[in-house]
């Protein structure tokens, strides 16, 4: 038994070896919030004239958001 498992620091990964997620609130809707954030980002880029219709716009809307 190491110091980490004997009441020390919490594990840094989950049993499936993925890193723990941070910044999520209890009861939050990550998928809905992510979609709204992507749509807002695309709207800002379009309003600034930096993005138009096409495959890049569609890809930005489809990407998962990293938190």
What's residue 64's pLDDT? 75
Stated pTM of the model: 0.52
Q: N- to C-terminal Cα distance for the chain?
A: 33
- Per-residue pLDDT of the chain in tens (67 residues, 90 and over written 9): 444 445 555 555 556 666 656 655 555 566 678 888 899 999 999 999 999 999 999 999 998 766 5
Local structure of residue 20 (DSSP, 8 states) = P
CA geometry: angle at 64 spanning 57 and 59, to 5°?
Answer: 20
What's residue 4's pLDDT? 47
For the chain, the structural domain boundaries read: 30-62
**Distant-in-sequence, close-in-space partners of 41: CB < 8 Å, separation ≥ 6:** 60
How confident is the prediction for the chain on average, in pLDDT? Answer: 74
Cα separation values, 39 from 5, 6, 23, Å: 43, 46, 20
What's residue 1's pLDDT? 47
């Amino acid at each position: 038994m190491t110091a980490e498992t004997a009441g020390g620091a919490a594990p840094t990964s989950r049993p499936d070896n993925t890193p723990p997620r941070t910044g999520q609130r209890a009861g939050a809707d990550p998928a809905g919030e992510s979609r709204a954030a992507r749509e807002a980002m695309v709207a800002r880029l379009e309003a600034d004239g930096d993005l138009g219709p096409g495959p890049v716009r569609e890809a930005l809307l489809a990407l998962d958001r990293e938190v």
